[in-house]
Structure 1
C-alpha cells in the first residue's frame, strides 16, 4: 500500500548535531556519566550512529547549522483503529550527499524502538536542557484535567472547560499556578459523584518540556507537537497507546526495533530516515 506523505514542520541543529531519541529518557543521560550532547557528538563524528546505554537510546547525525531542517512522514493505516500512523520519518539534514564517502546509499546507522511516551527530534545541545516527565514544573504552572462517567456532575460542581485530545476530550483548566492546580486536583480526587464513593479520574500535570510536547501533540492526527527548548524548535512524535500495544509493545526486548538510515534524496542531499515496516497480523511487522 503506498504511503501518504505529510509535512510535519521543521527543526534546527545549531550545534551541528541532530538527535532522534526516546522521550522517556532524554534527561536521564547525565545520570549515566556525561551529557547527551557529548555522546551524540561522538556518534555524529563518524558520520552518524546509534547510542544505547541502559534504557536510553538515540541516533545522532551531522546536520547543517544554519538552515531549517524539514521533517516529513509517510503514513499507513493503524492496525488498532485504522487511523493514520507514522510508517517512515524523514528529515532533510541540509547537507550534500557524499557519494565518495557513502556510495549510493542507503547507509545503515542503527535502529530504534518506538517509545510509548514518544520520540524527540532536535539539536543535541538544546536537548541537554530538556525537562522530562515527572520533573518539577519549570515555570510554576500546571494543567488539571478530569474525565469519567461522573464528569458531567463534577463539571457542575467544580467547573472546567472541555479540552480536545486525540480521539477523546477531557475537562479541566490549563496554565494554573502550581499550588492552585494541586488544590483543585485534591478536591476533585476527594469528591464523590454517588453514594458509593465513585468520582472522576484526575491528572495534575506540571509544566515540563515533556508535558508541553504531549499537550501540543494531542490535537494532531499523528500526535506530533513542536516545542521550544533552549531557544531551538524541537519536535515530539507520539503514538496512540492502542497502536503501540499492537505493533511495538516490548520494544527492543522483543525485537521491535526499526532501521535508521542515511539516504540520498531526490535533490542530492542527505536525509535521515527511520522506517517502520507494515504490520502483519499475528506476526508483528513485515
Structure 2
C-alpha cells in the first residue's frame, strides 16, 4: 500500500454531523422510517455509530461545523485491474482527539456500494436526489456509444466525453434530451437488424452528478453541492468492484470504520478497505 495520501477534496458539515454512506440508498432512509438526519444526529450524539436499515447503511460521527473537512485516501493496486484503488479513506473531522489513549475507536463496518459512496452533512443529505428522482434543475445529459457511434456522430453531432470515449451532450432540458434519445433509437432501428449503438439520457439527479463530477478523477471522486453543503462522492470502477467487493454485506464483504487520532491532536474518520485477493493468494 502506498504510504502517500491522495487528496480527494473537501466536504462541509454545518449541522455538526458527518455521514459516510452508500450512495445507492441515501434517498431510501425516509421510506424505512426516520430520515437520515435524525438517525445520524442520534448516532453522532453518542460519539459516532453505524446506521443500518434494510439495504441502507452509513456511519455518522460528530464533526466541526465551521470549516471545510479534508478527505483523502491511500491507494493500493487492484489485484484484478492492476490500477490504483482506495485502500483507506480518511476524513479530517476538525475536532480534537478526546480518547484516553491513541487506540482506534471502532464504529462498525461498511460494504463498498457498487453505486459508490457519499461523504457529507447529515442534514444536507436529506435533500439527496437518487437515481429515480427528478432533477431540481430540469436538465439531463445524453450519451451514445457502440460500433456505429461514428455514423451517429455524423448524423446527430455531439461532443466527445473524455472519461469513457462516448459521444453526447451535457445540460439539455429533460424533454429535449428524451426526444433526442428517441430520435437516435429510431435511426438505430431494431436491435437485431439495426445499427449497433446504445444511447442513454441521465437526468441531473445528485446520484448522476456526483458520478459525472468524478468521471475524470483517477479514483472517481468528485464534489457536488447537496442541501447547501459540499458533498464528496466516490464511485467504484465496475470491474474492480465485481471482483473485489461483489456481494457486499451478504457475502461478508465489509470493511472496518474507526475514529482515530491523527497524530497532531485531531480526530479523523477512517475506513480501511484492503484490496481483494485471488483464491491463490
TM bucket by the smaller chain?
over 0.9
Query: TM-score, normalized by length of structure 1?
Result: 0.95
Does residue 258 in structure 1 map to residue 255 in structure 2?
yes
After superposition, residues 1-286 of structure 1 pair within 5 angstroms as: 1-100=1-100, 103-165=101-163, 168-192=164-188, 196-282=193-279
Using the alignment, how far apart are the partners of 1:4 and 1:251 within structure 2?
Answer: 27
Question: For residues 45 and 273 of structure 2, what CA distance do their matches in structure 1 show?
Answer: 26
2:188, 2:37 → 1: CA distance?
48
Cα distance between partner residues in 1 of 2:4 and 2:133:
37
Shift, 1:199, TM fit: 3.3
Structure 1 position 99, deviation (Å): 2.6
Moved more, 242-251 or 128-137: 128-137
| In structure 2, distance between residues paired with 1:88 and 1:60 | 17
- Unaligned segments of structure 2, at least 5 residues: none
How far apart are residue 105 of structure 1 and its match? 1.7
Q: Which moved more, 1:185-194 or 1:112-121?
A: 185-194
Look up the SS of the partner of 1:182 in the other structure: helix
What's the Cα RMSD here?
1.5
Q: Secondary structure at the match of 2:196?
A: coil
1:71 alignment partner, SS class: strand
Would you identify which runs of 4 or more consecutive aligned residues in structure 1 move more than 2 Å?
Answer: 1-4, 192-196
Alpha-carbon distance between aligned partners in 2 of 1:70 and 1:112, rounded to the nearest angstrom: 20
State the Cα distance separating 1:283 from its structure 2 match: 7.0
Per-residue deviation, 1:189: 1.5
- 2-structure distance, mates of 1:66, 1:129: 20
Q: TM-score, normalised by structure 2?
A: 0.96
Query: How many residues are paired up?
Result: 280
Aligned to 2:47, what secondary structure does the other structure show?
coil
Q: CA deviation at 1:2?
A: 3.5
Kept after mapping to 1: 8 A contact 2:118/2:234: yes
After TM superposition, give the deviation of residue 193 of structure 1 in Å. Answer: 7.5
SS at match of 1:246: helix
